[in-house]
Amino acid sequence: MHTSPLSPADTLRWYIAAGVDEVIGEQPIDRYAQSAKPAAKAQGAAPAAPQQPEQASSAHLAMAATNLAELKAAMEAYEGCNLKRTCQQTVFADGDPSARLMIVGEAPGADEDRLGVPFVGASGKLLDRMLAAIGLDRTQAYITNVVPWRPPGNRKPEPAEVELCLPFITRHIELVDPAVLLLLGGASVSALLARTDSITRLRGGFVDYSSPRLSRPIPAMPTFHPAYLLRTPLAKRDAWRDLLLVRQKLDAAP
């Protein structure tokens, strides 16, 4: 059966009866043809969020520090290392920054993280006895770590984590400018001396440490970490010999 098309007035009355109460657009839209095209940006969509400024690199922050206070502030402001998200605080250093002996360990443990001071647990007590054996104490040395934030579970820092922290410890040594470095454990030795040899092979002699802002190389003594000595008491004899060499080097230094 043929039906005549509705007049515009009849069409409008039909729309009203069907519940249509607003007009979306003045022109009809072919939705089938539109779906075949790539989606266009919606009108009135919220503008993209502005890109956040890039986090300053550890190298940039470290190089900008002109004293230890600025270096500590830079380390505390740095957010590029995941270790900082799991630790309690930044463990910066302990002792006298004008001391001729600077001691560099690996990373803080649980006690160090809680107190904010390096080497205060069982390893720290042994380190105190080691220093006393050559006539020194914490007021006559300067103590820090390659990594200033405690790894979860006291695990060994990952190479990538050490790499991020390396500019900070490099600048730390440059600012302190000690006469002698004592490097405790394989992590500090490999990071600062770029050597892959084991501590057993490297200990017993000095290796020169250099960096761009030092006026001269610093003699560095690799030796066993106190934590290792607690587990391996027989190695204390070799560590004692290393400390005697450190004492001799300090006495000979101007």
- Which residue from 127, 100, 130 is spatially nearest to 241, judged by alpha carbons? 130
**The predicted structure's pLDDT at residue 195:** 85
**The predicted structure's pLDDT at residue 50:** 41
Inter-residue contact 169 to 209 (CB < 8 Å): no
**The predicted structure's pLDDT at residue 61:** 95
Tell me how many degrees the CA angle 181-187-192 measures, rounded to the nearest 5: 45
Q: Would you give per-residue pLDDT tens digits along the chain (254 residues)?
A: 555 666 766 766 766 666 666 666 555 566 555 555 554 444 554 454 444 345 679 999 999 999 999 999 999 999 999 999 999 999 999 999 999 999 999 999 999 999 999 999 899 999 999 999 999 999 999 999 999 999 999 899 999 999 999 999 999 999 999 999 999 999 999 999 988 888 999 999 999 999 989 999 999 999 999 999 999 999 999 999 999 999 999 999 87
pTM here? 0.77
Inter-residue contact 92 to 148 (CB < 8 Å): yes
* Domain chopping of the chain, boundaries: 58-252
**The predicted structure's pLDDT at residue 26:** 56
**The predicted structure's pLDDT at residue 231:** 95
**The predicted structure's pLDDT at residue 1:** 53
Query: What is the CATH number that goes with domain 58-252?
Result: 3.40.470.10
